[in-house]
Structure 1
Amino acid sequence: MTNSNGKLSEEKVFKDPVHSYVHVQDQVIWELVATAEFQRLRRIRQLGTTYFTFHGAEHSRFNHSLGVYEIVRRIIDDVFRDRSFLDEEERLLCLCAALLHDLGHGPFSHSFEKVFHYDHEEFTQAIIVGDTEVNRVLKQVGDDFPKKVAEVIAKTYKNKLVVSLISSQIDADRMDYLLRDAYYTGVSYGNFDMERILRVMRPLEDQVVFKSSGMHAVEDYIMSRYQMYWQIYFHPVTRSAEVILSKILHRAKQLYKENYAFQTAPVHFISIFEDTLTLKDYVKLDEGIISFYFQMWQDEDDAILSDLCRRFLNRNLFKYVEFDPSTQMMKMMELRTLFEEAGIDPTYYLVVDSSSDLPYDFYRPGEEEERLPINLLMPNGEIRELSRQSEIVDAISGKRRTDHKLYFPQDLIETLPENFKEKIKEVLGI
């Protein structure tokens, strides 16, 4: 039952381990959660292959999306009580964009995107404006409402304050995934004082600013993000699983192009391999589908595909050593030659993986990835950029950290004839 103003006659809640409860008062939000496209997010893990390293990391994009919605709801309904800068439609716009911001993520998210060169934000927008249940629910607010939600996701919506709540260097998306990922991985790195940050948030024209009295809570958030990226998101074991996952997808595509006779045909991948993927095809993909093919492909006649699938499913991952592409490419060429001579295909079994993160940056106009700075509101009303006020943030501001690893199957190397084995291990330094 709904009231004439689009509110539920009785508030609904989801019990949540991070925010205690997720509160829903608006009919449109309740109906969006029930759509097929949003329910699909239950079948996509938030952290991809991280569960291989931290066994608790089984939470889904569904969990996270509800969490981002709840943070935004608290900000606009509780923190920004005087909402003269937001009418009711823009309030709903904030809530819907928060709920739907990850709608276009594919199975194993970023690994899947890298292999097939997809952009989950483009698919999110396509689902919102396309022939979908989500689109039909959003149109109940207004015919142009889906387009506005898509513009918030694309960061092109005219009210930049609305955009910044979902996408900035300190936004509801980041705040939820740091707290949620820390909770499910069982680590303390991602914990920060979100309550304090919310208390010092202030809307100012087209941006959110933070009272300078809460600067230390913002510093804590920045450092939590930094630690989570290097301790969790870029963990080398997780990256090993991602490398194998990527190579499985590459191998399957290569075999399809070569007209290989699959015992289990890659039905759900055909439009991807042929570059004819439709939105209808895309929303059918989830991690259950991918895992089914990996399970079946263990029995394929192609030795590489079957081996990689067994490795992924049974967590028989590649080992790694530190690698510097700028100084060690001769080593890489020598290893490739040795692998080929030993009968191990280096395309699939000798892989350099690089991870890179920029924890915080001030505004640099004209750069490809312009980052809105975090601004502090000083007692005298002056606005100051965070790194100009905080020595801690200044120390890491604008400093990109990059890490390279070389991955290889040590178990296969150990089975090689002694002359190959010792030479390869000597070059690898193991």
Structure 2
Amino acid sequence: MASVSSSNKTTIINDPIYGFITIPNGVIFDLIQHKYFQRLRRISQMGLSYLVYPGAHHTRFQHAIGCLGVMQKALKVLVDKGVTISEEEKNGVLIAILLHDIGHGPFSHAMEHSIVEGVNHEHISLLFMESLNEEFNGSLTLAIQIFKGTYHRAFLNQLVSGQLDMDRTDYLKRDSFYTGMAEGNINTERIVAMLNVKDDELVVEEKGIYTVEKFLVARRLMYWQVYLHKTGIVAEQLITRVLKRAKELSHSGVQLHSSAALSHFLNYRIGVENIEKSLDIFSQLDDYDIISAMKEWCSHEDFVLSELSKCVIERDLLKVKIRKKPFKKSKIALHKAMLMDTYRISEDEASYFVFAGTISNQAYNYKKGGINILLNNGKIIDVVKASDQLSLKSLTKEVVKNYLCYPKVKG
């Protein structure tokens, strides 16, 4: 049973990206030790991207600890530049960044579109933080305000959730390292060194503009080459469909082999209105539950569930085509008809294997709070206006592409 320590126990974690990261105080140490946070060791940071990039086996736990380390550096930089930040505010923002991803389910986003309905990981993260706040006697109250963006000093929330926050600063560099994609290797140290605060808003000093440009370009490249890689898209869609099919069968009375935690979410309708009651069960759910279940389901008598499970476990994925124009309905229908004829399955069953969708990439969204450059004359302007790089403006435009997935022809 977890207990809350009152000591100033500190420890050091050796991170492959930044080196030694010091855990600054007893509360943060105890939060890291808590079962809710330790679960993140069993949640992949990049879902099934390791099916494309074999090195991408790093976890949400590593990312969260990395964010903590970067945030500590950012706070030191700001304080050294004369920004007044109280010890309570420092602790609040460190806890907020540490726990910002605590609500992620198995394989990250796949869970949000399958066995829970209309519940995103940010909402679950907030529920976890509120639960921990009760357990830690109100120690997370300020962290929750910063996380929600209700605290009056905007720059603290911008450090946690903004266009140039410590979350993005860590995951771009970390994901680049573990995938081997050098295009995403941003200069985290310089980004942090260029940060400043004016009128309680986060700004970047003018001499850091080229580093910000590199950051935005790296983000665009990482999305197209890694996060939106066509094989990764197929893999995530497959695991989402595995869980949907499993839930559909469970609701029709079929008993499926799975862990107690996964069984709970397969058998009950869990949405925004009742997820809080299932929070402790959710905290027992991780990637291992899903992988273990799919290994069992590979031999299930249901054609859809078994074939989808085998696709993921054996990495025998669907074919995927990506293009700018939407695919014709007649083309999708043709692929379904071929599948229905070959395996004697219904159109509804065929829809699990033949489907179309869209992906989008917008490296910089200034409408959601842009990246402000503090010029040497004291004026503040958006990075796009401050930059002499004409291509930077194009990064503000959302690029949408269409994809079509369908089975390989086996003969």
TM exceeding 0.5: yes
1:354 aligned to 2:358?
Answer: yes
> So what's the TM-score if we normalise by structure 2?
0.90
1:322 aligned to 2:325?
Answer: no
1:123 aligned to 2:124?
Answer: yes
Alignment of 1:28-427 (within 5 A): 28-81=27-80, 85-115=84-114, 116=116, 117-130=118-131, 132=132, 135-137=134-136, 139=137, 143=138, 145-262=139-256, 264=257, 267-273=260-266, 274-276=268-270, 277=275, 278-322=278-322, 326=326, 328-342=328-342, 343-344=344-345, 345-363=349-367, 371-390=368-387, 391-392=389-390, 394-410=392-408, 413-415=409-411
The code of the aligned residue for 2:403 comes to K
Shift of 1:325: 6.3
What secondary structure is seen at the aligned counterpart in 1 of 2:184? coil
Shift of 1:152: 2.3
Shift of 1:160: 1.2
Question: How has the CA–CA distance of structure 1 residues 75 and 109 changed in structure 2, closer, same or farther, with 3 Å as cutoff?
Answer: same
Greater Rg by CA: 1
Confirm or deny: 8 A CA contact 2:258 2:292 kept in the other structure: no
What secondary structure is seen at the aligned counterpart in 2 of 1:102? coil
What secondary structure is seen at the aligned counterpart in 2 of 1:333? helix
Shift of 1:125: 0.9
> So what's the TM-score if we normalise by structure 1?
0.86
The code of the aligned residue for 1:45 comes to S
What secondary structure is seen at the aligned counterpart in 2 of 1:110? coil
Confirm or deny: 8 A CA contact 2:327 2:356 kept in the other structure: no
What secondary structure is seen at the aligned counterpart in 2 of 1:414? coil
* CA offset digits 1:339-383 (Å, max 9, x no partner): 3333353211102232112111323xxxxxxx1111111111111
Shift of 1:167: 0.6
Question: How has the CA–CA distance of structure 1 residues 36 and 265 changed in structure 2, closer, same or farther, with 3 Å as cutoff?
Answer: closer
Shift of 1:335: 2.9
Question: How has the CA–CA distance of structure 1 residues 266 and 260 changed in structure 2, closer, same or farther, with 3 Å as cutoff?
Answer: farther
**Counterpart Cα distance in 1 of 2:150 and 2:50:** 35
Question: How has the CA–CA distance of structure 1 residues 298 and 88 changed in structure 2, closer, same or farther, with 3 Å as cutoff?
Answer: same
What secondary structure is seen at the aligned counterpart in 1 of 2:11? strand
In the other structure, the counterpart of 1:15 is: 14
Question: How has the CA–CA distance of structure 1 residues 112 and 244 changed in structure 2, closer, same or farther, with 3 Å as cutoff?
Answer: same
Shift of 1:252: 0.4
Confirm or deny: 8 A CA contact 1:40 1:286 kept in the other structure: yes
Question: How has the CA–CA distance of structure 1 residues 202 and 214 changed in structure 2, closer, same or farther, with 3 Å as cutoff?
Answer: same
**Counterpart Cα distance in 2 of 1:195 and 1:248:** 41
**Counterpart Cα distance in 2 of 1:275 and 1:164:** 35
| Percent of aligned pairs with the same amino acid | 28
Structure 2 portions without partners, runs of 5+: 1-5
What secondary structure is seen at the aligned counterpart in 1 of 2:13? strand
* CA offset digits 1:210-264 (Å, max 9, x no partner): 11111101100110111101000011111111121111111101111221243x2
Confirm or deny: 8 A CA contact 2:170 2:188 kept in the other structure: no
In the other structure, the counterpart of 2:3 is: none
Q: Which protein, 1 or 2, shows the higher relative CO under an 8 Å CA cutoff with sep ≥ 6? A: 2
Confirm or deny: 8 A CA contact 1:121 1:153 kept in the other structure: no
**Counterpart Cα distance in 2 of 1:82 and 1:192:** 23
Shift of 1:322: 2.9
What secondary structure is seen at the aligned counterpart in 1 of 2:334? helix
The code of the aligned residue for 1:407 comes to C
Structure 1 portions without partners, runs of 5+: 1-5, 364-370, 416-430
